Amino acid sequence: MVVNNSTVIDVAYHDDFLYLALVGQELDGSIPPEITMLTSLKMIQFDSTTMEGPFPTILANLTGLRELHIYDTAFTGTIPTELALLSELRTLNIGGTTEIWGTLPSEFGLLSNLKVLNIAETNISGTIPMEYTHLSPWIFRIFRNSLTGTIHTEFGLFSDVEWFFIEQNDLIYLQTNSLTGTIPTELGIPTENFWRLAVSRNLLSGTVPSELGLLTKCHNLATQANLLTSTIPTEVAALPAMEYFSNSDNMYSGIFPMELFFSGSKMVRFWFENNEISGTIPTEIGYWTSLWNFRLDGNWITGKIPSEVGTLESRLEYFNAGSNQLFGEIPSEIGNLLKLKECSVGDNGLTGTLPKELGFLVTHGTLKHLNISNNDGLFGTIGSELCALTADPVLSNALDFTCGDVCGCDCPCDNASSLVLYGQNGTVLAEMKS
């Protein structure tokens, strides 16, 4: 379907329209001025269209609007300050194009009814206006822009916020924009429904404030790819509703926070890779019965891989504890993880024989990626269960096998799923293709 200007003009003569949604349409030119005749409009959605021209200032004449969505269009220029005249606006969603530039209009701080603010994936620069701290949003999302500056402490006064999301900008003290500075302690002022705090990919430094432990309903904390240091406070690690804990690629140090395992069994995704955390993987990991994705690679973790990992068979698909200082054997209980797709424990000090259960995960499970490279103490054959892997003498040397063949059988293995076995330095040692 092709929608052109004349179509919009025809619609304009029906002034009782409440909603105008043109999503994924081929629209010629810019928005015609006749659109202002739709005085009853409550919602406009121009997403993923080919409309072009300057950002439409005329929309400010539709003073009854409650929702305005202009995302992934060909509009260019700055966001007009006149949109602040839309005093009834509840939702403002702008972005999806690098052809929008300039700064964030401070006048938007006057939108007292605004509950959802999303300005993302643009070339907007400058700082977040202080006036935005006067808002009372449920969802506050400003990410993947070119913003700089700091996170205002007054954002902690958002009494109704459920989702605070500032990522991929250029604020000097918070990253993924280019924000800088520290995480304000005021963000820990609890609200009734606060459930997500995301400040990833900025240039934030300092420590995670213990006051965030007051956000007892928060189930998603994301601070990855910043310059944060020290340990995760026990108050934060003990948040009872936590499900998504994403704090990789920082400079966190200290002992692995045990409180994470005692706060409940709701953890779904745990990302803590590429930090400087020490300690062990506790047996209490078995409490995380909902765990789907576990990443702890690139730290200073010691001890053994606990056999309790094998109790996570209901959901675990990704397990990565590589590039640590783990020792001991790979537990045979890993064979219980029939949903496991990727397992990486390379670059450790693991010893003993390779459990035959790894082969069981290929023949009866979903395992497609196995990295056990650079564990000089591992020996033995992988077993006939991995018969789809062709025999490769390099594998024996790389993993210090004492037996001959990698596979140990003569079957063609034509019906097996694809699996890649990685050896030293990440090289592919053997590959099985369906």
Asked if residue 228 lies in contact with residue 207, where contact means CB atoms within 8 angstroms, the answer is: yes
For the chain, 434 residues long, give each residue's pLDDT as a single digit of tens: 334 444 554 554 555 678 888 777 776 677 888 888 888 899 999 887 878 889 889 999 999 999 999 998 888 999 999 999 999 999 999 988 889 999 999 999 999 999 888 998 899 999 889 998 888 877 888 888 888 877 777 675 555 555 565 665 443 233 355 667 777 776 666 565 677 888 888 888 899 999 888 888 888 888 999 999 999 999 999 999 999 999 999 999 999 888 888 766 789 999 999 999 999 999 999 999 999 999 999 999 999 999 999 999 999 999 999 999 999 999 999 999 999 999 999 899 999 888 888 878 877 778 878 888 888 887 755 555 554 443 433 333 333 333 223 344 444 444 333 445 554 444 555 444 44
Whether 209 contacts 223, CB under 8 Å: no
**Tens digits of per-residue pLDDT, 71-83?**
988 889 999 999 9
Cα separation, 410 vs 422, whole angstroms: 22
Ramachandran region of residue 433, left (φ > 0), alpha (ψ -120 to 50) or beta? beta
352 - beta bridge partners?
378
Q: Which residues pair with 175 in a beta bridge?
A: 178, 202
- Tally: H helices and E strands in the chain: 5, 34
- Residue type for position 313: E
DSSP state of 356: T
Query: CA 149 to CA 270: how far, in whole Å?
Result: 29
Q: What is the pLDDT of residues 203-255, one digit of tens each?
A: 888 999 998 888 888 888 889 999 999 999 999 999 999 999 999 999 999 99
Written as one string, the DSSP assignment of 59-113 is GGG-TT-SEEEEES-EEEEEPPGGGGG-TT--EEEEES-TTEESB--GGGGG-TT
Contact 177, 171 (CB under 8 A): yes
**pTM (2 d.p.):** 0.72
- What the chain holds in terms of domains, given with CATH numbers, is 1-123 (3.80.10.10), 145-264 (3.80.10.10), 280-296+303-434 (3.80.10.10)
Quick one: tokens of 356?
């035959």
Q: Are 270 and 295 in contact (CB under 8 A)?
A: yes
Amino acid at 124: I
DSSP letter at 393 equals H
φ, ψ of residue 365 to 5 degrees: the values are -120, -145
Can you give the three-state secondary structure of 304-331, one letter per residue? CCCHHHHHCCCCCCEEECCCCCCEECCC
